[in-house]
Amino acid sequence: MTIENVLLVSGALFAIGAYGVVSRRSLVTVIMSLELMFNGVVIAAVAFSRFTPAAALLNGDPLTAEAIRSALTGHAFAIFVTAVAAGEAALAFALVFAMYRASESVEITDAAEMKN
């Protein structure tokens, strides 16, 4: 398990999600694929936090608690991305329901034709 392997998994998950977003017609599946892409990005952030040193720990300054904590920047990033993804999923499904109520369909091609 090296950083290259973890980034490979992260990139693969992102690519699978990207394929799902483009290749599916149902909006529900598209949102699922979007969540997969979010997860791929967060894996990369956590991997960098795990395998690469924080800059504040390398510059030779007297060590502070803040410098030690900066080794966890990737984790903080992961928490924020997760929160945004959760809000996005809730809002996206509300939109899908609104669309379903208006046109009895959840397909992207129908959404493109919905002008009202």
Partner 1 sequence: MMEVSSLTTFAFWLASAMTLGLAVVVVTQKDVFRAAIALAGSFLGVGILYFILSAEFVGVVQILVYVGAISVLMAFAVMFIQDIASGSRPSQGRVIGATAAALIFAALAFTAYNTEWSSIDDITDPVAVAAMTEGYVEVGTGDYALISGEAPTDSNEVVSENRGVLVDSTSALGVMLIREYMLAFEIIGLLLVAALIGGLLLMRNPPSSSKTEKGDASA
Nearer to partner 1, 89 or 115 (CB): 89
Min CB(73)–partner 1 separation in Å = 8
User: With binding defined as CB under 8 A, does residue 1 bind partner 1?
Assistant: yes
Q: What is the Cα gyration radius of the chain?
A: 19
Site for partner 1 in 44-63 (CB under 8 A): 46-47, 49-53, 57-58, 60, 62-63
| Whole-number Å distance between alpha carbons of 115 and 71 | 49
Q: Are 9 and 39 in contact (CB under 8 A)?
A: no
User: With binding defined as CB under 8 A, does residue 108 bind partner 1?
Assistant: yes
Written as six digits, the tokens of 94 are: 């509300």
Q: Are 48 and 25 in contact (CB under 8 A)?
A: no
Nearer to partner 1, 90 or 115 (CB): 90
Min CB(23)–partner 1 separation in Å = 4
